[in-house]
Each structure stands twice: as C-alpha cells, then as structure tokens.
A and B are shown apart, each in its own frame.
Chain A
Amino acid sequence: MIATLTGFIDELRDVGVPVSMVEAIDAMRAVESLDLVDKVALRETLRATLIKNLRHERAFDTAFDVYFSSLPAPLPDHPELADDPVGQPSSTAPPEGDFDLDDLLQSLLDALQSSDSDGLRAGAQRAVDRLAGMEPGRPVGGTYYLYRTLRRLDMTRLEERLMEAMAEGRELSEFDQRLLREDIASRLEELKRQLEEEIRRRLVADRGREAVARTLRRPMIEDVDLMHATTAELAEMEAAIGPLTRKLAARLARRRKRRSGRLDFRKTVRRSLATGGVPVDPQFRHPRPHRPEVWLVCDISGSMATFSRFTLQFTHAMSSQFSRLRSFAFVDTVDEVSDFFGPGIDFGSALHRITTEAEVVWMDGHSDYGNTFETFLNRYGRQITPRTTIIITGDARNNYRPTREQALADIAKKARAVIWLNPEPTSYWDTGDSTMSEYAAHCDSVHEVRTLAQLESFVEGLTFPRARVF
C-alpha cells in the first residue's frame, strides 16, 4: 500500500499538483485509519489530504482511477462477476456466441432507471468486456475504447428508451420533459463514468500503472496556452472563469488596506463627555467602500482568435459581477460592446452579435492599435474618470503602423489605472511588429497572461493605486 501511495503521490506531482511533504505524511497517516477495501473512503481521504484546490480534482480523479483501479470488490449481488479476479480482466477479446446485446441493454436500463449503482457497475463491466474491443498492449489512454463502447451501446437510443420508461406512459408538459431530460442526462453521465473507470482498470491490468498514467497525462487546465487551446480546453477554462471573476470583483471593491479609519477627533471629544472628559472611546471615521468602475478593451483581431474568445468570456463573466462594467472591442478601430452582454444574454449570442454588429473594422481588418486608441480617446475620453480602471487585452502587434502613443498616454492620465494583459510570452514582446514597450510606458502595469494560472496570479496580485486626485 505504501508503495502504491508513494507512486500515486509522485504521479500527482508529475502532472503538476503541488503536494508537500507534510501533506504526503498526512495522507499516509490518514490511510492507516482506513478499511482498505472501501474505495469511496480511500478516495475522499486522499482527496482531503492531498488536494487543496478544486482545479486539481480532475487530475486527482484520473490518477486515482489508475493507481487504485484494482480496488472494487466483487459485487455480492452479481455473483457472475466474482469469477473475474480483481484487476485481471477475464478476456479482452469478446468471445462470440453467448452474448446478448439486448439483454445487456435491458439490465443497464433497469439499473439506470432504479439508480442501482451496483447493477450499473456490473453492466458497465459487461459492456466494456463485450463492446470495447480492447486490444492488449496498445498504448492508448482509453478515450477510443470509451467512444467505441458508447457507440455500440447507442447512447441516443438508450436515452430515448430511458425517457420512455421513466415517463411511464404519461403525457409530459414541456417543463416536465425538460426536468426528465436533465435527470436522465445525469444518470447517463454516471454510466459513462463507470465505463471509463472500468476501461482504465483494464488498461492498468494490461500495461501497468505508470504506463497508463503517462498516456493519460494532460497539462493542467490552468497551464494550457490560451493561444493554442483546443475547443474542449476552452470550454473547461470558461468554466473556471466564474470563480476568478468573483475574486477580481472582490479585489476591485476592496478598500485600501488600513485597519481602521482615521481618528474622528470631534466625535471622540463628544463621546468623552460621558466619561468626564477622559477619551476612553476613540471614534474613527470609516473608510468609504470603493465603487469600482471597470472598462475592458479587447483586441478581437484574427491573430488573437482563441485568446479573444477567452477574454470575451472573461468580459461576459465580469459583466455579471459589475453593474458598472463597460466593454469595448477593437481591430483597427474600436466600438463599445457593453450592451451585447446585457442581462440574460448568453455568451453564444453575445459573441455572435459582436462579430456581426460591432463596428471594429474601419480600414482593412488588420490590428491598428494607434487608430484604436485615438478613436477611443475622442469618443469616450470625456467619460473616463479618476475612478475608471481600464484593462486592455491584446498582443500589441500593430502591423508596423504608427503607435500614436500619445493617445494612450492621454487616456492613462484621465484614468485611475491602465492595465495591459498580453497573451504572448514576454520574450516575444517587441519582436517583429510588437510594440509592447512603447505602450507599456503609459500603463500602470503590464502582465503576461498566457494561461489561466497567470490570469489568476494577476488577479491575486492586483493592488490599485488610489483614485487619482486632481
């Protein structure tokens, strides 16, 4: 057990989950207090001692499936499985003949409908056994086998049959249909999870933990490069943005650090009258909470495609946190897009309207930061106040056009702060047509934000100059 645990912890570290010495020791101590066959208890024990950030849970669960795959005890309710020695799949190639797909589907349906988790696990094991067509020795991570199993089970049909069975012949209103669909979706999700776990268990039995763990490794979502993220990764990042924007909102609203306000002399003296002039109860002025005003200005040109999708998602999430958020998009000129993020508008339609309705192209559709800043200053400059924080996102690649820095300098003069987030590695700045340094001179701070982790550390480290006083 200790050896497995050590391997497991090494694996976590290898995929980038920070596990300290203290935590490793805690985990070992905690595991000693457990009944080993109980997989749920072991999983939660290791999770609580080793994982201190929600974002690491996915990596944790994957590694756990691999390292503790041989744990599920034979199911008492399904004696036919007991002859399948744990961790040793009885066969990998489905023997022909005695297998009845309809029978399997029926037992899956029954288990799904009655939320019978043992039955579901048994069904998942049978499905993998017969349908995944696993080939020994193939260095794959299992997604392919999962896909094949799901296709052969015909999930769409399964969903329909489940829908029928659970409606029990009633005529459902649209509302009830929706509730039922969501219910069924979560049951099918559980089936998928069981299938995936079973596939991993067999992969491990075939090729060993280390090998399987290696093929399953993916960069942590927070470290994926925003410029080169896949659609699936983007979706996952987008889910992580919500909490981050809440943090940013909290940061921006936070008062400047000061334990208590300044001494309120008059109030203190007035109070002291009650104690014969002894000022026993000093009164302080309360610092006024800050009402932040944030403007986001995003480059949405082609060179920024994935990144701008991400920043717009960030904007979308921010607009649900700040009533006074304004957003602008630009390519070679700039347009306000705040209204596209109005209440109740989902991200998809906001994105659609921005790409079709916002007037962000004036000349040829190649980024023009100079013209953008000048237009911005002329159109919106008068509305910038000493409370306005402006966050610009873009790669500062100006297609060798005039930078017109003075415009940005003027914007910065009016605003509380100008912050620039650049999705390129610092080492690329100022190479080719990048004009980062010219603009940086007028910003309060410039940050490389290529990953979610960097966006997060930007948010964490955010401190603001106080509102400028005239």
Chain B
Amino acid sequence: MELDSSQSVADALRTVGYLPDARIAQVVYLAAHLGKPILVEGPAGVGKTELAKALAAVTGRELVRLQCYEGLDEAKALYEWNYKKQLLRIQADEDHEWSEIEQDIFSEEFLLERPLLRAIRSEKPAILLIDEVDRVEVETEALLLEVLSDFQVSIPELGTIAASSIPMVLLTSNNTRELSEALKRRCLFLHIDYPDPEREQEILEARVPGLSAHLAEQIARVARSVRNLDLKKSPSVSETIDWARTLLALAVDQVDEDVLADTLHVLLKYQTDIETAAKELTAPAR
C-alpha cells in the first residue's frame, strides 16, 4: 500500500478499521514522505497506539513495540548479553583459554536483541512504536534520541551496528511530563484529541459489528456531553466502544436518561465521576 498522499493514507487506514481525521492523515503522509518520526500526544484511549498498529497492518510491515515504563533501561530497550547462557558456557569450557572464551561468549549467539536494535536490524523497514515515552527517565529519553538520530548502535564487544533499514517511527506520550526539546525538534508533532461525534460514530460503526447507525450516533453525542463535564477521567474511545457493546447486548435501541443511569459504570471508571454524571445528565436540577 502506497502512502503517497494524505488521501491515500486516509483510505488505507480506513480499510483496516482505523478512522483518521484530516490532521492524522496529513501527518502520517508527511512522516512517510520526509522519513521523520511522529510524536503522538493526547489523552489515554484516543487511538495513539492503534494508529501504529493500523499502519503496520496497511503497509504489511512488522510492528516492533517498545513499551516504556519508569526504569526502562538500555538492557531492555536496546540489547543485553544473555549472561545466564554466558555463565553456563564459561562453566562448560573451563579448560579453554580466557581469550578464546571471551571471543566466543560475546558473539551474536549470546546477544539478546531488544526492540530498538531489532527494529533497525530488520531486513524490511519495520514500524517502530515507542509507546508512552513520557514514562521513561530523561537519560533513557536521551538514549532513544541517539538511536533515532543515528540509526546505529555501538556494542563495545561487537562494534557498530548500522541499520539494515530505517523504520517508520511513532512515539506516543500521555503528556505526564514535558519531553526534551531535542526530541521534539526531531519529530513531527501530532496531537490527537477525542474525536468529534461524526468521527466517533464512524469508529463505533467500524469497531462494533451489528451496531445501528442511529445508536452509534446517539452514543457519540452522549459521549461528547459526558466529556463536557468536569470529570476526573473523561471516557476514552475504548470506553465508548465498550459502552456500545453493552447497549447492543442489552438490545437497547434508544439512549435515554434511564439507560444512561444504568450503564454509566461502563463509561466511567471513578465512582465520583459516575455520581457527577448521574447528577448532571440523568437528574437535571429544576
């Protein structure tokens, strides 16, 4: 699938059930065209991770995912020596010369490839998803930046490994901290917000088989209304999808106050939010 215009990006993504807006399609096209990483930012559950998956699906490329977390380090992001295996080899080869053993145990066979290395050593260009990058510490961010700038990795025992292919890179962030200027400068920036009701309706129809257009539209409108409230956590797209599934299972064909009141817990995760929404939407003050 060629990503040679924003329109063809949009069309391609739709075929795999991802509904982009004009901005998403444009930025993906640019990233493919300029060979730059995309930094995707936005609240949880708006389709950031899904975008990378959908791109892998439309391009037929391998999705290599580096899930970030606090404490993620080089050994988990880049490569690591399999020291269990090394130790056992050392034990087995006790009578050999050390230099010989050393040669042996610091070879490809004992190298554990982690996502970054794996992505750049892939024969065919991969889609590299660095998910929730705001969760790593600043030093690890610097390491990521280095790899994304040079597309090579130097392993002291093996030398420098240059990329066999340049992956298409997506980084996602829930914006719990500011990323470094250097990293941002490298990337195209894509902020994804909650979809407007028209697009959310389309997403619902694509993701929930059997859902009528009428019900999908109602759900999307109610979702907007709930997101307008002052809540601890607004419902994400995944939550409106869950809600749609629930309504479908309950054979509801019209969303009214009562239906909403009975199923709010599917849409909202905090008890206090459920109370707020119930008070505001299902029992309007007169």
Cβ–Cβ contact B230 & A33, under 8 A: no
B228 at the binding interface (Cβ < 8 Å): yes
Is there an interface contact between A178 and B281, defined as CB atoms closer than 8 Å? yes
Closest chain A residue to B135, Cβ basis: A250
Q: Which positions 255-286 of chain B face chain A at CB distance < 8 Å?
A: 256-257, 260, 271-272, 275-276, 279, 281-282, 284
Asked whether, in the complex, the Cβ of A182 is within 8 Å of the Cβ of B224, the reply is: yes
B281 and A246 contact, CB distance less than 8 A: no
* Segment at the interface with A among B115-123, B170-178, B241-249: B170-178
Knowing A54-B41, A182-B225, the reply to whether A48 touches B87 (Cβ < 8 A) is no
Does A13 belong to the interface (CB within 8 Å)? no
Residue B137 lies at the interface, judged by CB distance under 8 Å to chain A: yes
Q: Is A20 an interface residue (CB 8 A)?
A: yes
Contact check: which of B36, B232, B256, B282 meets A26 at CB < 8 Å? B36
Q: Which of A23, A44, A179, A343 contacts B275 (CB 8 A)?
A: A343
**Chain A positions 272-314 with a Cβ under 8 Å from a chain B Cβ:** 275-276, 278, 280-281
CA distance A204 to B230 in the complex (A): 39
Q: Do A44 and B22 touch across chains, with their CB atoms under 8 A apart?
A: yes
> A460 vs B91: C-alpha distance in the bound complex, in angstroms?
49
**A324 within 8 Å of B (CB atoms):** no
Evaluate contact between A250 and B272: CB separation under 8 angstroms. Answer: no
Q: A44-B23, A48-B27, A178-B225 are in contact. Are A346 and B83 (CB under 8 A)?
A: no
List which B65-94 residues lie within 8 A (CB) of chain A.
Answer: 70-71, 73, 83-84, 87-88, 91
List A contacts of B225 (CB < 8 A): 178-179, 182
A228 contacts across to B, CB distance below 8 A: none
Within 8 A of A (CB), among B167-190: 175-178, 181, 184-185, 187-190
> Residues of A contacting B58 with CB < 8 Å?
none
Within 8 A of A (CB), among B35-82: 36, 38-39, 41, 70-71, 73
Q: How large is the interface on A (under 10, 10 to 19, 20 to 34, 35 or more residues)?
A: 35 or more
- With both chains docked as a complex, state the minimum distance between the C-beta of A249 and any C-beta of chain B, in angstroms: 8
In the complex, B6 has a CB within 8 A of chain A: yes
In the complex, A395 Cα to B83 Cα: how many Å?
58
Q: Does A2 contact B (CB under 8 A)?
A: no
Given the contacts A40-B22, A45-B26, A278-B87, A344 and B191 also touching, CB distance less than 8 Å:
no
CB distance from B253 to the nearest CB of A (A): 15
- B124 contacts chain A at the CB level, 8 A cutoff: no
Q: How far is the CA of A138 from the CA of B218 in the complex (A)?
A: 47
Residues of B within 8 A of A157 (CB): none
Taking the closest CB of chain A, its distance from the CB of B182, in whole angstroms, is: 10
Partner of B178, one of A20, A33, A115, A460: A460
Beta-carbon contacts under 8 Å, A249-270 to B: 250-251, 254-255, 257, 259-260
Contact of A251 among B177, B184, B232, B279 (CB under 8 A): B177
Q: Quick check: A20 and B41 within 8 Å, CB to CB?
A: no
User: When chains A and B are docked, how far (Å) is the Cα of A350 from the Cα of B155?
Assistant: 58
- Are the C-beta atoms of A48 and B175 separated by less than 8 Å? no
- Tell yes or no: B221 within 8 A of A by CB: yes
Chain B contact-residue range equals 35 or more
Indicate if A37 sits at the interface (CB-CB under 8 A): no
Measured CB to CB, the closest approach of chain B to A189, in angstroms, equals 11
Interface residues in A155-191 (C-beta closer than 8 Å to B): 173-176, 178-179, 182-183, 186
Q: How far is the CB of B25 from chain A (nearest CB, A)?
A: 9
Neighbour of A41 across the interface among B26, B191, B260, CB < 8 A: B26
| B36 closest partner in A (C-beta) | A26
C-alpha gap A433/B30 in the complex (Å): 57
- For the complex, give the distance between the alpha carbons of A41 and B198 in Å: 20
Known: A29-B34, A48-B188. 15 other contacts (CB 8 A): A41-B26, A44-B26, A45-B30, A47-B23, A47-B189, A52-B189, A54-B191, A173-B257, A175-B281, A175-B282, A246-B176, A247-B175, A343-B276, A344-B276, A460-B177
Which residues from chain B sit less than 8 Å from chain A, CB to CB? Answer: 6, 22-23, 26-27, 30, 33-34, 36, 38-39, 41, 70-71, 73, 83-84, 87-88, 91, 137, 175-178, 181, 184-185, 187-191, 196-198, 221-222, 224-225, 228, 230, 232, 256-257, 260, 271-272, 275-276, 279, 281-282, 284
A-B interface, 10 closest residue pairs, ranked by CB to CB distance from nearest? A343-B272, A44-B26, A52-B184, A250-B176, A344-B276, A48-B188, A280-B84, A320-B232, A48-B27, A52-B189
Binding site for B on A (CB under 8 A): 18, 20, 22-23, 26, 29-30, 33, 40-41, 44-45, 47-49, 51-54, 57, 115, 173-176, 178-179, 182-183, 186, 243, 246-247, 250-251, 254-255, 257, 259-260, 275-276, 278, 280-281, 320-321, 343-344, 346-347, 456, 460
